[in-house]
């Protein structure tokens, strides 16, 4: 099964407020979608200082938003190494949800872990992921 198919399957396995198609559309319009044979990631630029609801709402996109300091990974499946080598602006932080709690990690530290360490491929929806970074 391709990573994009694993990612879409999360919407069938867990209660989600929107469909995979709606969230994909939001990230195509206002974020980043990385889809390779080895990985699938939907992410968007946010501010670490934003409220939880603003960071986690894939449709929240203020028109005056220019200064971002964080990439929020909304959904990921497969090898995250591809995401960090995918063309995008690096930022200070990467965020994702685990157990309905927003987590922040330094971008460079997470990039190092994902591109130089052996991390098993995963499929998770960030609202219930079990990604652990130490």
Does the residue 66 lie in any domain?
Answer: yes
pLDDT > 80? residue 79? yes
Q: Which two tokens stand for residue 18?
A: 């929107």
Q: Would residue 131 count as lying in a domain?
A: no
Residue 49 lies inside a defined structural domain of this protein: yes
Q: Tell me, yes or no, whether 51 lies in a domain.
A: yes
Percentage of the chain beyond pLDDT 90 is 37
DSSP 8-state class, residue 102: E
pLDDT at 118: 52
Whether 134 maps to a domain, the answer reads no
Domain count, the chain: 1
pLDDT tens digit sequence for 40-50: 999 999 999 99
Q: What is the pLDDT of residue 131?
A: 39
- Which residue in 68, 78, 96, 9 sits closest to 41, CA to CA? 78
Domain that holds residue 10: 3-125
Cα–Cα distance, 14 to 28 (Å, whole number):
22
């Amino acid at each position: 099964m391709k990573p994009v198919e694993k990612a879409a399957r999360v919407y069938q396995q867990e209660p989600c407020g929107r469909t995979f198609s709606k969230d994909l559309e939001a990230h195509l319009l206002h974020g980043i979608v990385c889809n390779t044979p080895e990985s699938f990631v939907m992410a968007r630029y946010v501010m670490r200082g934003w409220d939880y609801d603003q960071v986690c709402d894939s449709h929240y996109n203020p028109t005056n938003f220019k200064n971002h300091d964080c990439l929020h990974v909304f959904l990921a499946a497969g090898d995250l190494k591809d995401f960090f080598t995918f063309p995008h602006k690096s930022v200070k932080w990467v965020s994702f949800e685990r157990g309905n709690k927003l987590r922040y990690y330094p971008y460079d530290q997470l990039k190092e872990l994902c591109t130089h360490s052996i991390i098993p491929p995963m499929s998770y929806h960030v609202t219930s992921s079990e990604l652990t970074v130490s």
